[in-house]
Structure 1
C-alpha cells in the first residue's frame, strides 16, 4: 500500500507539492479553536457537544458581535446561508433546550442571546 508520507527510493516528491500547512488548514484550526471554546461551554453546563449545538451557538455569537439579535428564523436563515442544512424544527428544539439548560436566554422580542453566565465562561477561556 502506498503511503505518501513515507520516503520512497529513487523518486522525489511531486512538483508543486507543499510540505507545510495550507491556508485552508489554518482556517480549519481557527474554527476548531473557536469550537473548542463552545465545547468547553457546553461541558460546563453538563451538555454533550453536537454539531447543531456548536453551529447554533456560533451563529448567536457572530450575531452578537455584529450587534444583531436573532430569533429562531434568523438563526435558521443564517445556518442555511452557511450551507448548513438543518431543519427549522431542529434549530427551534436546540434553542429551546439551550434555554432550558441556561446557556442562552430568550429576550422580550423573541430573540436569543447568550446567558451572562455563559458569556462569562467564554470570556474566561
Structure 2
C-alpha cells in the first residue's frame, strides 16, 4: 500500500552506490598510438574520431596496402574476423559518409578505396 507519511523520491533522483572505475591498463596506449595516423587523417578532413571510423579506415588501408579495394561486405567481414561487433548497416553508413567527405571513393565495381589525398596523409610520419 501507499504510505502517505513517506516522501516519494522520483527515479531520476535515486542514487546508486557505484564502485570506483578501474584504471585503464597501459596496454591500451599502443593501440591508440597505432591509430594516430588515422586520427590525423580524420582531422585533416574535418571529421571527428570515432571507433567505427578508425576501424573502417584501417580495413580500407590494409586492403590498399595489398593493392585491392573492397566493398561493404568485405569491410564488414574483415571487422567480424577481428571480433569487432559492428552491424552491416553501421559499416555501410560510415562508408557512405567517408565517401561524401572525400576520404574514400566508390568504384564502378561497388568497391571502396582510399583517395590519393587520404593515402598521402596516412603515409606521412605522425606529428606529435
Q: Same fold by TM (over 0.5)?
A: yes
- Structure 1 runs (4+) deviating above 4 angstroms are none
The residue that corresponds to 1:16 in the other structure is: none
The residue that corresponds to 1:8 in the other structure is: none
The residue that corresponds to 2:105 in the other structure is: 105
Please give the alpha-carbon distance, in whole angstroms, between the structure 1 residues aligned to 2:32 and 2:92: 25
- Structure scoring higher RCO (CA < 8 A, sep ≥ 6) equals 2
The residue that corresponds to 2:32 in the other structure is: 32
Q: Normalising by structure 1, report the TM-score.
A: 0.74
Shift of 1:28: 5.6
The residue that corresponds to 2:69 in the other structure is: 69
Shift of 1:33: 2.5
RMSD: 1.7
Deviations 1:53-96 (A, max 9, x none): 00000001111222232100000010001000100000000000
Please give the alpha-carbon distance, in whole angstroms, between the structure 2 residues aligned to 1:36 and 1:99: 21
- The structure carrying a bigger helix percent of its residues is 1
Q: Normalising by structure 2, report the TM-score.
A: 0.72
Please give the alpha-carbon distance, in whole angstroms, between the structure 2 residues aligned to 1:28 and 1:82: 19
In the alignment of these two chains, the number of paired residues is 100
Shift of 1:123: 1.9
Matches within 5 A, 1:46-65: 46-65=46-65
Please give the alpha-carbon distance, in whole angstroms, between the structure 1 residues aligned to 2:29 and 2:58: 15
User: 5+ residue gaps in structure 2?
Assistant: 1-25
User: 5+ residue gaps in structure 1?
Assistant: 1-23
Farther off after superposition, 62-71 or 112-121? 62-71
The residue that corresponds to 2:16 in the other structure is: none
